[in-house]
Amino acid sequence: MTTTERVELAVIGRQRPAVIEALGAEFTLHEVAPGDDVAAALGPAAERVRGALSNPMVGLSAEVMEALPKLEIVALFGVGLERTDLSTARERGIVVTTTPVLYEDVADTAVALAMDVSRRITSGDRWVRAGGWAAGGHAGAGRRFSGKRAGILGLGRIGRMLAKRLEAFDMRIAYYDPRPAPDVDYPLHRTGLELARESDFLFLCAAGGPGQRHLVDADVLAALGPEGVFVNIARGWLVDEAALVDAVVSGAIGGAGLDVFDDEPNVPQALVEAENVVLTPHIASNTVETRADMDQCMIDNIRSWFSTGQATTPVP
């Protein structure tokens, strides 16, 4: 490689214009659709690509790494690692970076969804807009948020930021995590089921790693009970969605605030028709400010790697 040659990057799936623009000015970019055969799509460039950009919902499989023999770095937009083959990356010495600048937004979204469901904000707005209030009706009562029992499934960075927020509402916080946190005073339950039994609000904040299907199933939801609220800002596939639909429709739980679903962007029709749920389109980190921070974080990782040999936010 001569000094006039630009480093080549594969861009897997849609990336944000600011990232494409900034990196396109310094690197040669090859955009590849997520479903494509990467080797075929890149042609001879596959042999030259030294970096890849992707997002957690697409990730980077062992197969794609295989097709890129000179790959040094994978920069992911977001923090989910479940669709990127970390062990292959480690074996090959490929650095994987995420954008660990979104935790506050995700924790905020969890609080917003829980309050919205319990205090009937979105359903109240729907009722006002439909003319129910003006017609002389009386709004149904919600349930108090402050002072209740919050169960956090997965006490990682998001779970901790959520706990800090909930403390200001005088909530009693408990958690379940396969790796207990020695530095917190919150009671640790032995299972998610036990936690659900002692919670008014159950927040799923677990990382969506492989082999973790259905952390929340029919039994956990039954334990949460008819006044309980379930909130998911983690991954849809960590929940038995059919059981969740049943629990919402039957009243086995009081309601749910859901930002993620098993088969996005498809949401089960029974949820779309339910009054006691709030459904958001995977927007937990989708703010102007955080997306700009995430853009910059990806740009910084790629730039830093190819100028200094160090990524700024590598996965350990």
Q: Which stretch binds a copy of itself (CB under 8 A): 69-77, 115-123, 217-225, 232-240?
A: 115-123
Sites for a copy of itself among residues 247-276 (CB under 8 A) = 264-267, 272
Shortest approach of a copy of itself to residue 131 CB, angstroms? 8
Question: How far, in Å, CA of 155 to CA of 128, rounded?
Answer: 37
Answer yes or no whether residue 48 interacts with a copy of itself by CB under 8 A: no
- The question of whether 282 is a catalytic residue gets the answer yes
Burial letters for 295-314: b for 16+ Cβ neighbours within 10 Å, e otherwise?
Answer: bbbbbbbbbbbbeeeebbbe
Nearer to a copy of itself, 154 or 254 (CB): 254
Answer yes or no whether residue 21 interacts with a copy of itself by CB under 8 A: no
With CB under 8 A as the rule, give the number of residues binding a copy of itself: 56
Question: How far, in Å, CA of 171 to CA of 314, rounded?
Answer: 35
CA quadruple 257, 13, 71, 22: dihedral sign: negative
Which residue from 82, 71, 88 is spatially nearest to 305, judged by alpha carbons? 71
Site pattern 166..205 for a copy of itself (x: CB under 8 A): -xxxx-----------------------------------
Q: Which stretch binds a copy of itself (CB under 8 A): 42-50, 117-125, 229-237, 308-316?
A: 117-125
Strand order in the sheet with 28-32: 28-32, 8-12, 51-54, 73-76, 95-97
Parallel, antiparallel, or unpaired: how do β-strands 51-54 and 28-32 relate? unpaired
Shortest approach of a copy of itself to residue 88 CB, angstroms? 31
SS3 171: coil
Catalytic residue among 197, 235, 241, 291: 235
Shortest approach of a copy of itself to residue 60 CB, angstroms? 22
Shortest approach of a copy of itself to residue 154 CB, angstroms? 20
Q: Which stretch binds a copy of itself (CB under 8 A): 59-67, 91-99, 135-143, 174-182?
A: 135-143
Which residue from 61, 55, 67, 47 is spatially nearest to 11, judged by alpha carbons? 55
CA quadruple 43, 48, 54, 57: dihedral sign: positive
Residues tagged active-site: 235, 264, 282
Chain residues that interact with a copy of itself, rule: CB under 8 A: 104-105, 107-109, 111-113, 115-116, 118-122, 124-129, 132-134, 136, 139, 141-147, 164-165, 167-170, 264-267, 272, 278-283, 286-291
